[in-house]
Amino acid sequence: MIGGSFDTGSSYHQIGSRREVCNWIGHIKLSRIIVLVSVILFIVPLFTHYYLSKVESDSPNLDIHHTRSKLEAFEDFTSMKAADLKSRIEEMLRIKVSVSNELRDLEAKRQRLQVEVTSFTQRIDELKQELLHQQMDLDRLKISVVQAQVAQREAVERNTPELAPPRRILVNSVPAILPSPNSSSCKMYNCFDHSRCALTSGFPVYLYDPDLYSIVSPGWDVDGFLKTTIKQTLGYNSHLTTNSAEACVYVVLVGEALSMEVSKRFKFRKPIDVKKLHSLPYWGGDGRNHILLNLARRDLSIESGSILDGIDTGRAMIVQSTFHRTQFREGFDLIVPPILGPPGGDIWQDCTQMLPARRRYLLSFQGEMKPSKTATTTHQVDDAEVDLERLAVDDNNLDSFIIQHLKDLSISTTLDKFFIQFECIPASEDTKVFEALDWSLCGTDSSRKAILKDSTFALILAPSNTSFVTTSPMQARLYEALRAGAIPVVLGGDQIYLSYDEVIAWRRAAIFLPRARVTEMHFLLRAVPDNDLLSMRRQGRLIWERYLGTAQGAIDTIVANIRDRLGIPPLPAPRAPSPSVFNESFVPLKSDTIIAEPEAEESLGPLEPPYSSPAFRRNYTTMLIHGHEIWNDWVDPFNLYPQLPFDTILPSDAKFLGSEVGFRPIAKGAGGAGKEFSESLGGNHPREQFTIVMLTYEREQVLINSLARLYGLPYLNKVLVVWNSPKPPMEDLRWPDIGVPIHVVKAPRNSLNNRFLPFDAIETEAVLSVDDDAHLRHDEIMFGFRVWREHRDRVVGFPGRFHAWDQNYHNAWNYNSNYSCELSMVLTGAAFIHKHYTYLYTHWLPQAIRDKVDEYMNCEDIAMNFLISHITRKPPVKVTSRWTFRCPGCPVSLSEDDTHFQERHKCINFFSQVFGYMPLLNTQYRADSILFKTRIPHDKQKCFKFI
C-alpha cells in the first residue's frame, strides 16, 4: 500500500494540475483512509524500533540530539489524526503544485533565455558576416580608389589636344573649267576633285532626276524599270542628299535603249546627247566628280561595247558592264554587273543549297558564238584595224580548239559528267569574218538555272575579242553561276576584270585559267577537295547575296566602292531607340531589398562607376587595315560600327612601353593568384564593362528578384530591361537599387527579336543576354565575362545545346538538350555576345528568320548562334559545368512544353535551309578557370573558389 501511495503521488505529479488532484482525492472513500491510518500506526513502531537498533549498532558515537529530532518528527507525524493527516497531505500537494508551477516558470524562463542566447549567437554570426562583407566592400572600394587614381593619371598623361573637324571646301557657283587631261589617262589624282569630299563629309551623293535631266537623244529612252529602280534604291541609301551644294559626287543615269529595233532605227544617231550632258547644272565644264551610271541589262552593240563609246565624257567616271580595253581607265572607271535581280528584299529562296559538295555534272556550259560584222566593211581601214582583224582570226582558231576540246571532253570515257552545249540556234550564213567574238546565253533562264543547280563548276568564257576587258553577257553568266551555287571557272581569266575587283577577292570564289590551259582544266577541277569546294561555294553565295543579287545591293556597292577609294568612312549603322517604359513625370519606387549571394565572401573585382566602351575610334583605319575582311568576310562594308569583335590587339609589351593607357594588368604586370587576379581585369584588352539585357513579359516579381541579385556585381555598366508586355509595370512596383542604372525599355511590340535590337542605351561592347528567370552566381558571371574578353567574336555562356542528325526523320536535324560530350550552341538566355552582332541580327539577318521567330515565339537564341557561327566559322564557348537553369517559384515556362522542342526542331531545319547549309560547328571542350583543380600553397588563393 505504501508503494501504491507513492505511485499515487507520482500520478499526481504526472497529472500536474491542482484541479485534477482535488477531483481525484474527492473520490477516495473514508474506509480506505481508516485502513491507511491503521497500517501506518502498526508499521511505524516496528520500523522505528528497527531503525533505532541499527543506528545504535552502526553509529555508537552518533549525535543523540540529532537522532531524537528525527524521532520527534516521526512521532509528530505518527501522532497525527486522520483529519490532520489529510490536511497535511493536502498542504503538501499544494506545495508540490506550487513548486511544479515555479519549476515550470523557471523552465519557460530558461527556454526564453536559450532562445535569446541563440538569437544573440545568430546575430553575432550575422555581424561577423556583415563585418566580412563590409571588409570586402572596403577592400573593393580601396581597389576602386586605386583604379580611379590610375584612370585620373591616364587622363592627365594622355594630354589629348583639342581636335576639330576640317573645314569643308564648298562653293556655291559652278567650278572653273580646268585644263582637261587626255580622257584615257584619267586617274583619281588628276580627274577627281577631292576638295569636295572631306573625310568628315559623310560622302553625300546627289542624283540628277532622270525625269528632269535626261541626256539621251530624241527617239531614245531610258528603261523604265531601271529609272524607277535606281531612284528607289538610291533613295534608301543613307548617302543620298538633295542639297547639290554639299554633294561630293553627282550621279547621272544613262540606262539603255528599250529594244534592239530602236537602235537599228536610229543607227546614225548616237544615243547620248552630248549637249545635254555638258549642260548639266553641276557639270562644271569637264564633268569632274560626276558618275555616268550605265546599268544596261543588254548590250546595244557588241562592236561599240556601250552607248558611251565615242562620247566626250570628260572627267566623269563611267560605271557599266561592258568596256573596251582602250576605254576602261583602271582605278577610275568601275565595272559593275547588270541589274538582273529584284529591287530588294529577301533573296535566299533564289539560292541553291550548298550540299552535296559534288553535284551531278562536274562542269557545265550553255552558249554559242555571237558573230558581228568585221571592221573591214568600213570605207577606211587603218593599221590598227588590220591588226585587230588578224587578232580576231588568231582568236577564232583558239576558240575553235577550245570548242573541240570541250566537245571531246563531254563524250570521253571519264566517270565525270559534263554538260556542254554550243549550238542554241542555227548560225548565220552571211557572216564569214568576225571582228569581235562573244558568247551569248543559251536557253531560258529557268533551263539554265536547272542545269547550273546540278553543276559543281560553271564554265565562263572570256570575250573572244581580247579588246574587251568585260562584257554584260559574261557578267550575267557570273551572276547566274553564283546564284545557283556553281563555282565559276573563268577560261581566259587573265585577260578580263570582274565586278568590283578592287575590293572583292574573286579568287576565293572562282577559278581563273588562261585559255591555253583548257587541256589542264579537268585535272585541276578534280584536284579541288570537298572542303575547298564548299568554301568557294559559300564565298560565292556571300558575294552574290551582298553585292549582286538585288538592285539595292548593286547600288549600295557602287557607292561604297567609290567611297572606299576616297578613304571616307561610311555613315554609322542605325541604332534602335531605347524609350523608357515610364512617363517623364513618373518616378519609380525604390526598394532596399538585397538578395545576398552565397559566394559574397569572395572578392570578384572593384566597384566602379559606369564606364562606356570607347566608340568609333577606328573610323579612318578600319577600311585600311581590315578592308579586305570587311568586304569579303564581315558581312557589311556599307555601315560604320562603333566597335568590331575583330579589332586588332596590341602586343603584350605595348601595355608597359608607351601604350599603357586603359590597360589593367594583374599586379601591374607581375602577375599573381586569386587576390591579385580579383583586383584587375588583366587580359589583352583595355579595361571595360558589360551591359545586361534582360527580356521580360508579365513576371514582375521574378524580374525584381533577378535584378536584386545583381547588387554588387563588378564591371556591370547598366541593366537594360526590355519590357515586352503591352501593359506598363505596376505603379507600386518597387525596383531594387543595385548600384548601377536600370533602364526599362518599352518594346515596340511583343517579339523575342527585341532581345537583340541594337539599343542606343547599350554603351559597351560586351552584352550579357539573360532571361529574367535565370539565376547566375556572381562568380559565374565574372568568369564568363573574363572568358568572353578572350573570345570576343563568339557566343560565350552557360547552357549548352547541340544539333543532332536524325536519320529516322527524313535525314533532318533535331534540336537536342541532353547532356552530351559535344555541343554546338550556347543559349543566349545566359550568354555574352558582342554588340556588333545585334546590328547584324537586326539589319543583315534574312527577314524570313526573324519572321519565323515571331511565328513560333521561339528560336531567337538558335538564330543568333547560326548568325555568329556563319560569320566566324567557329563554335561557341561554354563556361563552367552548368548545363541548365532552375528557377524555384517561377511559373511554368514555355520551354517545358513539348511543343517548344518540336518548334525548335523545325527552326533548325528552316534556318539551315535559309543559310543554304548548316553553319553550326561542334566543340568538345568547355572553359574552366585557371587553378581550378590545382593544388596551391595555403598562402595563395584560387582565381575563383567555386569554379
* Structural domain ending residue among the three candidates 31, 60, 79: 79
Q: How large a percentage of the chain has pLDDT more than 70? A: 78
Average pLDDT in the 325-336 region?
A: 93
Confidence bin at 645 (pLDDT 50/70/90): very high
In a domain, 559, yes or no: no
Q: Are 865 and 885 members of one domain?
A: yes
Q: 790 and 668: one domain? A: no
In a domain, 893, yes or no: yes
Cell of 124: 553575432
Longest dimension (CA), the chain: 172
The reply to whether 292 and 427 lie within a common domain is: no
Q: Which of 479-493, 497-511, 920-934 has the lowest mean pLDDT?
A: 920-934
In this model, does residue 168 exceed pLDDT 70? no
Q: Which of 299, 309, 772, 861 is catalytic?
A: 861
Domain boundary among 61, 79, 97: 79
Give 849-881 pLDDT, tens digit per residue. 999 999 999 999 999 999 999 999 999 999 988
Pair 462, 360 in one domain: yes
Q: Confidence class of residue 800 from pLDDT cuts 50, 70 and 90?
A: very high
Report whether 639 contacts 573 (CB < 8 A): yes
Question: Which residue type occupies 54?
Answer: K
| 381 and 528 part of one domain | yes
Q: Which residue has the higher pLDDT, 524 or 170?
A: 524
- Distances 779 to 594, 712, 775 between C-alpha atoms, Å: 17, 11, 12
Weakest-pLDDT range from 68-82, 100-114, 155-169, 578-592: 68-82
> Are 501 and 516 within one domain?
yes
Query: Does residue 164 sit within a domain?
Result: no
Do 295 and 444 reside in the same domain of the chain? Answer: no
Residues 263 and 402 in one domain: no
* Cβ neighbourhood burial of 288 (10 Å; 0-12, 13-18, 19+): buried
Residues 362 and 448 in one domain: yes
The answer for residues whose C-beta is within 8 angstroms of residue 102's C-beta and 6 or more apart is: none
Give 832's pLDDT tier (boundaries 50, 70, 90): very high
Peptide bond into 356 cis (omega under 30): yes
Pair 233, 361 in one domain: no
Instruction: Give a yes or no: residue 758 inside a domain.
Output: yes
223 is catalytic: no
pLDDT (mean) for 501-513: 97
Give the range of the structural domain holding residue 514, as residue numbers without chain letter. 348-549
pLDDT at 91: 86
Average pLDDT estimate for 316-342: 92
For the segment 43-56, what is each residue's pLDDT rounded down to a tens digit?
Answer: 655 555 555 555 44
463 and 435 within one domain: yes
Instruction: Indicate whether 469 pLDDT > 80.
Output: yes
Q: Is the pLDDT of residue 708 over 70?
A: yes
Which of 79, 99, 128 is at the close of a domain?
A: 79
Domain count, the chain: 5
Percent of the chain past pLDDT 90, that is, above it, reads 50
Q: Is residue 591 part of a domain?
A: no
pLDDT digits (tens, 9 = 90+) for 546-562: 999 999 999 999 999 99
- Same domain flag for 392 and 443: yes
Residue 583 placed within a domain? no
Mean pLDDT of the chain: 82
pLDDT at residue number 44: 56
Question: Is 100 inside any structural domain?
Answer: no
The full DSSP string for 847-869 is HHHHHHHHHHT--HHHHHHHHHH
Pairing relationship of beta strands 825-826 and 800-806 according to DSSP bridges: antiparallel
- What confidence score (pLDDT) does residue 174 get? 52
pLDDT at 84 over 90: no
Distance of alpha carbon 805 from alpha carbon 302, whole angstroms: 52
Domain membership flag for residue 555: no
